[in-house]
């Protein structure tokens, strides 16, 4: 039975929607000044391509493309962009003489060559479709797995070795050398005591922030035994910003509460009389 061939298939709809999106996003990568924008554009390309995979009877790759590529790899790019400096942007001025024109010409030339190579011939028939291949093991994923773990098992193992090597290599490369000797605890102690002896710097930690019934935030200053505020118990930055909680306010609530209680006590005692 010859299946009906529809004029417009879902596949071609997907192509004509996602193809332009992919090209536009790719141009975004090429033209964006900031790396972050470029990364976002690439994410767009990846997703568009993922959709095209789906349209091409490749559900497994569709998922992988989104999860692994867009989700993992691209996010790693973003991490590095953040690490290197999110604000940095490329200078527009080309430093290499004639490089921009030559690169553009070569790229366009290569594009024309590739496209004309594609246009040189027609494949001459409609795609065979993957239905048969997928059905061999009961689905796309199963069939892929069968191929991967039988015919290409050694290649698969080799990629495992490649990945572990890459991981170790990345750790090695990103590992920073310690430039100074690590200061030990006893040395820290000695330094602290020495600075106390020489400069009078207190060897003990700074006092905690105040702990009140209604607040123990770092913006609440501690009180000394005489009721005055301990300056060192709060960050100077907060003091400068005027973000300190007014101790009197905290106190007033307590005092008010105590006053109510004392009034009630007095009332009770008065009733007894």
Partner 1 sequence: MNPEGFLVLSAILFVIGLAGFLLRRNAIIAFMSIELMLNSTNLAFVGFARFHGNLEGELAAFFVMVVAAAEVVVGLAVIVAVYRARRSASVDDANLMKF
Partner 2 sequence: MQLLETVSAFASPGLMVWLLIAIPLACSAILLLAGKATDAWGHLLATAAVAVSFVLGVVLFVQLLGSPAEARSINTGVYEWIATGSWKVEFGFQADQLSILFVLLITGVGTLIHIYSIGYMAHDDRRRRFFAYLNLFIAAMLILVLADNYLVLFLGWEGVGLASYLLISFWAHKPSASKAGNKAFIVNRVGDLGLSMAIFTMFAQFGSVRFEDVNAGAGELTPLWATLIGVFLLIGACGKSAQFPLQSWLLDAMEGPTPVSALIHAATMVTAGVYLVVRSNAIYAVAPIAQTAVVVIGTITLLFGAWIGTSKDDIKKVLAGSTMSQIGYMMLAAGLGPIGASFAIFHLLTHGFFKANMFLGAGSVMHGMNDDVDMRHYGGLAKAMKVTFLTFAMGYLAIIGFPFTAGFFSKDHIIEAAFEHSTLIGVLALVGAGITAFYMTRLMMMTFFGSQRWQKGVHPHESPAVMTVPLILLAIASIIGGLVMNNWIQEWLEPTTGQVAHEASLLHFTTIGWITLAVVAVGVALGWILYRGETATVQPPTRNPLVYAGRNDLFGDAVNEYAVIRPTLATAEGLATFDHAVVDGAARGSATVASGLGQWLRKAENGYSRTYGLVLAAGLLVLGVVMWLGQLG
Binding site for partner 2 (CB under 8 A): 96, 99, 102-103, 106-107, 109-110, 113-114, 116-117, 120
Q: Phi/psi of residue 81, each to 5°? A: -60, -45
Question: Among 142, 140, 119, 121, which Cα is nearest to 129's?
Answer: 140
d(CA 86, CA 79): 10
Which stretches within the chain are classed as H helix? 10-31, 35-55, 59-64, 74-85, 99-120, 131-135, 140-150, 153-174, 185-199, 236-241, 247-272
Question: What is the contact mask toward partner 1 in residues 84 to 113, using x (rule: CB under 8 A)?
Answer: xx--x-xx--xxx--xx--xx-xxx-xx--
Q: Which residue, 120 or 204, has its beta carbon nearer to partner 2?
A: 120
Could you give the string, one character per residue 156-195, with x where binding to partner 1 holds by CB under 8 A and - elsewhere?
---x--xx-xxx-xxxxxx-x-------------------
Q: Using CB distances below 5 to 8 A depending on partner kind, what does residue 176 bind out of partner 2, partner 1, none?
A: partner 1
Write the CB contacts of 145 (distance below 8 Å, at least 6 apart in sequence): 137
Q: Can you tell me which of 1, 5, 132, 199 binds partner 1, judged by CB under 8 A?
A: 132
213 binds, options partner 1, partner 2, none, Cβ within 5 to 8 A by partner type: none
CB of 181 to partner 1, least distance (A): 20
CB of 26 to partner 1, least distance (A): 4
Q: Is 42 exposed, middle or buried (0-12, 13-18, 19+ CB in 10 A)?
A: buried
Block residue for tokens 């490369």: 173
Residue 230 binds which of partner 2, partner 1, none (CB < 5-8 A, kind-dependent)? none
How many binding residues for partner 1 (CB under 8 A)?
Answer: 90
Q: Please name the helix (run of DSSP H) or strand (run of DSSP E) that holds residue 66, with its range, or none.
A: none
Residue selected from 1, 98, 126, 183 as contacting partner 1 according to rule CB under 8 A: 126
Rounded-to-integer distance, Cα 237 and Cα 240, Å: 5
Q: Closest CB to partner 2 among 86 and 112? A: 112
Instruction: Work out whether 75 is an interface residue with partner 1 (CB under 8 A).
Output: no
User: Is 245 a binder of partner 1 (CB under 8 A)?
Assistant: no
């Amino acid at each position: 039975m010859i299946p009906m061939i529809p004029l417009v298939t879902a596949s071609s709809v997907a192509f004509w929607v996602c193809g332009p999106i992919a090209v536009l996003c790719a141009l975004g990568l090429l033209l964006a000044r900031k790396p972050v924008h470029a990364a976002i554009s690439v994410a767009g390309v990846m997703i568009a391509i993922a959709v095209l995979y789906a349209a091409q009877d490749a559900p497994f790759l569709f998922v992988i493309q989104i999860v692994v590529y867009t989700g993992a790899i691209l996010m790693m790019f973003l991490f590095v962009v953040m690490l290197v400096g999110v604000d940095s942007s490329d200078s527009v001025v080309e430093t290499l003489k004639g490089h921009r024109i030559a690169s553009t010409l070569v790229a366009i030339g290569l594009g024309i060559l590739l496209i004309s190579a594609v246009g040189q011939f027609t494949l001459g028939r409609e795609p065979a479709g993957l239905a048969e291949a997928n059905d061999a093991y009961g689905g796309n994923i199963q069939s892929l797995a069968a191929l991967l773990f039988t015919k290409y098992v050694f290649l698969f193992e080799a990629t495992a070795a490649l990945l572990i090597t890459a991981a170790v290599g990345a750790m090695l490369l990103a590992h920073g050398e310690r430039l100074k000797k690590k200061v030990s605890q006893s040395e820290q102690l000695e330094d602290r005591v020495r600075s106390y002896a020489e400069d009078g710097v207190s060897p003990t930690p700074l006092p905690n922030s105040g702990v009140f019934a209604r607040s123990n935030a770092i913006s609440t200053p501690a009180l000394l035994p005489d009721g005055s505020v301990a300056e060192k118990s709060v960050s100077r930055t907060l003091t400068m910003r005027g973000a300190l909680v007014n101790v009197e306010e905290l106190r007033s609530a307590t005092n008010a509460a105590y006053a109510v209680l004392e009034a009630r006590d007095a009332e009770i005692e008065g009733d007894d009389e």
